[in-house]
Amino acid sequence: MADRDDRPFDVMAGACPSRAVLEHVTSKWGSLTLTALSSEPARFGELRRTIGGISEKMLSQTLKSLESDGLVDRRVQSTTPLHVDYALTPSGQTVAQAVRTLVLAVYDVMPEVLKVADSA
């Protein structure tokens, strides 16, 4: 990006590892999962109920991707039965805040988007 040439990563470069992380974060399910976890940790079932339309398979894949990127922490509680909680890491909180800002911006422009869509 032209605004900061001193960064060690360049999302515009095809081989840059930041591109894969950006893809995970900005995918529909990635951004919704980060948003869902932005207020508090949650269990798998809670996330599935919160994120309308996501399948178990997609939620599992999304959580694994975000965990491998270091944005989500998977915590296994040693209870019977076992409980697994998902929470944002400090890096995940930083990214989730940016995603939440994007979500709020989309909310703000929706009246105009709907007006344009209705006139088309």
What pLDDT tens digit does each residue of the chain (120 aa) get? 455 567 889 998 989 999 999 999 999 999 999 999 999 999 999 999 999 999 999 999 999 999 999 999 999 988 888 889 999 999 999 999 999 999 999 999 999 999 998 887
pLDDT value, residue 3 = 58
The one-letter amino acid at 88: L
Asked if residues 104 and 36 have their Cβ atoms less than 8 Å apart, the reply is no
Give the pair of three-digit tokens for residue 55.
Answer: 């399948």
pLDDT value, residue 118 = 86
38 by Cβ neighbours in 10 Å (0-12 / 13-18 / 19+) ranks as middle
Angle at 22 between CA 19 and CA 26, to 5 degrees: 145
Indicate the pTM of the whole model. 0.87
In what order do the strands lie in the sheet containing 42-43? Answer: 42-43, 83-88, 72-77
Q: Tell me the domain boundaries of the chain.
A: 18-119
Domain 18-119 belongs in CATH node 1.10.10.10? yes
pLDDT value, residue 78 = 85
